[in-house]
Amino acid sequence: MPFDIHFEVTASLFLILLLIISSTRKRLEGFLYKTFRFYTIVCLVNNIVDIGATYMLYHYELFPRWLHWGANAYFFVMQFIIPTIFLSYIYGRIKRYTDRRRKWFVAMFLPALIGVMMTFSTYVTHLIFYLDDSGYHHGTLHGYLYFNSAAYAVISLIFAICWKKELNREFIHLVMMIAASALPVMIQMFFPHYLLTGVGTALCIYVMYLTSENQLDFSDQVSGAFNREAFLYELDELYKHAENVNIFIVALDNFKIINEIYGMEGGNELMRKLVKQLQKEFGELNVFRYGGDIFAVTVEGELELVKSRDIIYHIFRTPFDYKGLDVLLSACVCLIHSRNHDMKSIFSAIEYGVDQAKARGKGQFIEVERKTVDTIERRMAIEQAIVEQIKKKSFEVHYQPIVDAKEKCVVSLEALARLDVPKYGYVSPEEFIKIAEKNGTIVQIGKLVIEEVCRFINEENLIEKGIKYVEVNLSVVQCMREKLYKDIYGILEKYHIPPEMINLEITESAAAYSEARLLRNMARLSMKGLTFSLDDYGSGYSNIGYLVDMPFTIVKIDKYFIWGAMKKADTRSILENAIKMFKDINKLIVAEGIENQEMADMVTRLGADFIQGYYYSKPVKKDMVTDVLERLNREGGQ
């Protein structure tokens, strides 16, 4: 049977040209290019073997029969397997957009497996092809080759359609690839003397090139570095192949000020200059923009780590030129070893390392060592527990009584958010609130806490039990929200709670962080009847200006201030005068952290209006509040 191999030769030359073009452009070398190059070489080798087998057929008598059989067997095995490559490619594109597991995906290799088994058995069974003295002949099931290609075309099309939304703009490219694979094979069924299978694979490879070798997918257009998606892809590849790498995270210090001084254009230009220096020292393929003003640099090998760290800091000690001006940048650097983390925890390690370095000050360095893994795992567990609570649309709240210093009866409660973390138990609000502010869940937590408080006020009918108000803490992030007023008042209206039943506690740090915006929110909420407390007075700068400029009705004195007054006369004198000053400007005083009768007597003598602390009660779950109220009111009335 004569065959025309011109199309196969042309397809092979096209694949060679495509390999050369993709290599010289280096658009994605080190990422999707590796996969693309592998697929291309496999298809190219298959085409060359096919051409060689056809040439031997024309000169049948010059070559031993075993060589004929081996070349044709290899060709058919690869023809059965190649469609699985394209199916894997489409599945891989889907996995880029979703983590859904498709266990039955393995079963999709079944048609190819059957074809391979038939090929290996064809020496005896003659199912696919056979050779005799007259040459090469098709076997009885030679048509299974066409069925195999058609099956994978259909399966690929189903995959593409099922995940059309996820694939979005790539959908049409994938459909083109499926058509390019199926059509030449179908044509060859009717014109068997033309070899077209190589044409189909070459067209598929070209469409793969168009869709996977997209620089915009992996490049950050502002800085010129590879972007976060490229960094994720690189890490995924490292973990798949069990390779170790060291990651330097470079977090710029106060880059917001740079943008304010030189403008966004100037900030972007300086960022590009920094990236060029990092790429010059570590290679273009090893520098990534992790996000915002944070960059990642990957370094292989342990021996170069100290040198690499010194190089990074040398870059920052050298001024960058911007329009004739010398600009010095500063950055905190943390070193993370991939061997100490899995794909899931390494991002928590990065966040942890940056936080720790920033906490130490500008230009600091920290190495996230193996022993910190427990800390990171704890943080991840807390994050997961927060997510679970938000999914349930509820957040656990405990309540601590606040006692009138003179009447000795409970007049209010402080609502305290609590988080029960599997394996770790209850963690302090100081710990999980910081994490929630970092990952952006603090706003949802704040809403859920206020909603839980309003629900509790209704269920327990606290007004009839003598509770005048419930204190609820506001975080820094909540105070910065323009929608704070709508969030809170909307929940009050939902549960028909009188506004005067809610007192919002704001720390000095929150007031200082967003004073103007907070003033607007406080003014709106005050007009509706809500009141405010300045929390933890004495723990920070203790700026009296907040009490003058903002509508606080209550000042809560920090427990450490109280405890210090118990030990030193000088501190006690300062506390006494502070309380007198607050009373002179008509503020109510809550003394926190009271743990015994002596402390209670001291703050009462100094003029505190209300007392809060373990001496009366620890924060308790909502189902215990009624019993605690009855006990304290009974003891106070005796």
200-253: per-residue pLDDT in tens? 677 777 777 766 545 556 778 788 888 888 888 788 777 776 677 889 999 999
Residue whose pair of structure tokens reads 């891989």 in the numeric block: 92
Measure the CA dihedral 77/80/82/83, to 10°: -170
Q: How high is the pLDDT of residue 455? A: 92
Q: How high is the pLDDT of residue 213? A: 47
Which residues sit opposite 366 in a β-bridge? 334
Of the segments 61-65, 137-141, 145-149, 582-586, which one has the largest average pLDDT value?
A: 582-586
The two structure tokens encoding residue 516: 């103007």
Residue type, 393: K
Cα gap 559→538, rounded to integer Å: 9
pLDDT above 70 covers what percent of the chain? Answer: 80
pLDDT for residue 618 is more than 90: yes
Residue type, 307: K
Do the strands 287-291 and 294-299 form a parallel or antiparallel pair, or are they unpaired?
Answer: antiparallel
Q: How high is the pLDDT of residue 417? A: 92
pLDDT for residue 445 is more than 60: yes
Q: In terms of pLDDT, which residue wins out, 364 or 352?
A: 364
Of the segments 72-76, 160-164, 395-399, which one has the largest average pLDDT value?
A: 395-399
pLDDT above 90 covers what percent of the chain? Answer: 26
Cα radius of gyration (the chain): 35
Q: How high is the pLDDT of residue 542? A: 55
Among the listed residues 544, 486, 474, the one whose alpha carbon sits nearest the alpha carbon of residue 514: 474
C-alpha dist (Å) from residue 355 to 332, 333, 366, 376, 435: 10, 11, 10, 12, 11
Calculate mean pLDDT across residues 358-387: 83
DSSP 27: S
Among the listed residues 140, 129, 146, the one whose alpha carbon sits nearest the alpha carbon of residue 196: 146
b/e map 496-514, b = 16+ CB within 10 Å: ebebebbbbbbbbebbeeb
pLDDT for residue 157 is more than 80: no
Do the strands 331-337 and 365-368 form a parallel or antiparallel pair, or are they unpaired?
Answer: parallel
* Geometric angle at alpha carbon 278, from 276 and 279, rounded to 5°: 65
Confidence of residue 177 (pLDDT cuts 50, 70, 90): low
pLDDT for residue 353 is more than 60: yes
Calculate mean pLDDT across residues 3-28: 68
| pTM greater than 0.85 | no
Q: How high is the pLDDT of residue 600? A: 93
In whole numbers, what is the pLDDT of the chain averaged over residues? 81
3-state secondary structure of 628: helix
Q: Is the torsion defined by CA of 569, 571, 575, 581 positive or negative? A: positive
The answer to whether 350 and 290 are in contact (CB under 8 A) is yes
pLDDT tens, residue by residue, 125-151: 888 888 877 777 788 887 787 787 777
C-alpha dist (Å) from residue 297 to 289, 336, 567: 9, 10, 52
Which residues sit opposite 416 in a β-bridge? 398
Calculate mean pLDDT across residues 624-635: 89
- How many Cα atoms occupy the beta-carbon half-sphere of 621 within 13 Å? 6
Contacts (Cβ under 8 Å, ≥6 apart) of 303: none
3-state secondary structure of 177: helix
Cα gap 525→541, rounded to integer Å: 26
Confidence of residue 332 (pLDDT cuts 50, 70, 90): very high
Contacts (Cβ under 8 Å, ≥6 apart) of 367: 334, 335
Q: How high is the pLDDT of residue 546? A: 66
Cα gap 536→520, rounded to integer Å: 22
Q: How high is the pLDDT of residue 610? A: 95
DSSP 97: T
